[in-house]
Amino acid sequence: MLTDRYGRRITYLRISVTDRCNLRCVYCMPNEGIPWQSHTSILSYEEIARVVEAAAALGVNEVRLTGGEPLVRRNLPELVRLIAAVPGIEDISLTTNGLLLEEMAAELAAAGLKRINISLDTLSPEKYARLTRGGDLGKVWRGIEAAEKAGLSPIKLNTVALRGINDDELLDQARLTLTHPWHVRFIELMPVKNQLSWGPGFPAPETMFMPIQEILALLAPLDLEPMPQKEGSGPALEFKPRGAPGRVGIISPIGKKFCENCNRLRLTADGQLRPCLLSDEEVSVVPALREAGDLVSLIERVIELKPLGHELEGQVYPSGRCMMQIGG
Ligand code: SAM
Ligand code: SF4
């Protein structure tokens, strides 16, 4: 069983399958774009599956696929199948912008995907196009319907809370849980790399940050009942609006830091293992994969590097990669 220096059990591997994306969200990547990784520098599906096997041998039982946009990588269901066949992996999930789900949800579910998180920052098609630099909100809704039809459950909708941008809609988004069994989750904006300017028409990113307390105040009309936190249940604080089939969650890496319970390890598309999202430390698995090294002991070494927590409060920000290059 994998335990780090601070006694945290590492059971969750978050894998970025690509740094490419069919959107350009303002908080995730710089206005001017980023140079993509070449196809040869990203891990093949077989290589990713070998990393999962090694991690599973050490006690990892849950895998999430992310990106960039994971659904733009060709034949993603094949990777889901490979990972589902790894002994010890009990849960596979996916974080997506939802644009390609309409076409792919059924195949993903058949391959072994259990559940899905879909990013949805606004209910307004115009605002969506502005925040994503051109996205079509109608396509996302059709993707959500397809995910539901394919039996992916629960469906979690993720919203980055942004003062002055979508704070007027957070209550309406949370109200979706009154009529659907969805989990609507609000995420605090994280200062990862491109936090200087989001381009014309956007205020300075630091003025848009909304801490958990401010988000909760906006949701007060829903009469939220806190739900008990289960071990390994993830970073979201969960609430049940009175009488709702769904849930509301808040992911608050800054306002209510959760590093002491962090059970995660991350793998970037180009094969860097990162012990923490919010620190630049990373170690490549590529030599071990391509030159027959010992993956299991490499993963153990990376776990040893896992910091006690991020240091955003001391103004230590990760600067090496933007969110889509890490795999948010
Ligand atoms: N493309 C997929 C998507 O959008 O869901 C997966 C990758 S995306 C990087 C994963 C999540 O990170 C999304 O929910 C996105 O909203 C979130 N994210 C990106 N940049 C962020 C930031 N600076 N602060 C907080 N969340 C961020
Ligand atoms: Fe792409 Fe997701 Fe980043 Fe938006 S948040 S640019 S969809 S990777």
- What is the DSSP-derived secondary structure letter of residue 70? G
pLDDT score for 281: 85
| Per-residue confidence (pLDDT) for residue 183, from 0 to 100 | 97
Return all residues near 282 (Cβ < 8 A) that are at least 6 apart. 268, 272, 273, 274, 320
| pLDDT at residue 1, as a whole number | 66
- Structural domain boundaries in the chain: 12-326
Q: Is the CB of 69 under 6 A from ligand 1?
A: yes
Query: What does DSSP assign to residue 75?
Result: T
Q: Exposed, middle or buried, 217 (CB in 10 Å: 0-12/13-18/19+)?
A: exposed
If one residue of 95, 156, 185 were mutated to test the ligand 1 pocket, choosing by the most ligand atoms within 8 A of its CB, it would be 95
What was the pLDDT predicted at 216?
Answer: 95
Rounded Cα–Cα distance for residues 257 and 255 (Å): 6
Q: Which residues contact 157 (CB under 8 A, 6 or more apart)?
A: 117, 118, 119, 120, 144, 173, 176, 182, 183, 184, 185
Q: What is the pLDDT of residue 192?
A: 74
Residue nearest to atom 12 of ligand 1 (CA): 328
pLDDT at 201: 84
How distant, in Å, are the alpha carbons of 42, 56, 266, 291 from that of 285? 11, 15, 12, 10
CA distance 204 to 26: 12
Distances (CA, A) of 138 to 98, 144, 316: 10, 10, 38
Q: In the prediction, which pLDDT does 54 show?
A: 97
Cα dihedral sign, 207-208-212-216: positive
- Which residue's CA is the nearest one to ligand 1's atom 14? 119
* CA-to-CA dists, residue 187 to 148, 210, 254, angstroms: 23, 9, 10
Ligand 2 closest atom vs CA 96: 2
Q: Does 154 sit behind a cis peptide bond, omega within 30 degrees of 0 on the bond before it?
A: yes
> Using CA atoms, how far apart are residues 204 and 194, in angstroms rounded to an integer?
11
Q: What is the DSSP string of 181-245?
A: S-EEEEEE----S--S---TT---HHHHB--HHHHHHHTGGG-EEE-PPPTTS-S-EEEEETT-S
Tell me, in angstroms, the distance from the centre of ligand 2 to residue 12's CA.
21
C-alpha of residue 304 to centroid of ligand 1, in Å: 27
Return the pLDDT at 312.
72
- If you write DSSP's letter for every residue of 44-68 in order, what string do you get? PHHHHHHHHHHHHHTT--EEEEESS
CB count in 10 Å sphere of residue 228: 6
Closest Cα partner for 222 from 197, 195, 240? Answer: 240
Distance 157 CA to ligand 1 centre (A): 12
CATH code assigned to 12-326: 3.20.20.70
For the chain (length 328 residues), average pLDDT per consecutive 10? 86 95 90 83 97 96 96 98 97 97 98 96 97 96 98 97 96 97 95 73 89 95 89 80 94 81 92 87 93 92 86 70 74
Cβ(24)–Cβ(318) below 8 Å: no
Enumerate residues 6+ apart whose C-beta is below 8 A from 82.
Answer: 45, 46, 48, 49, 52
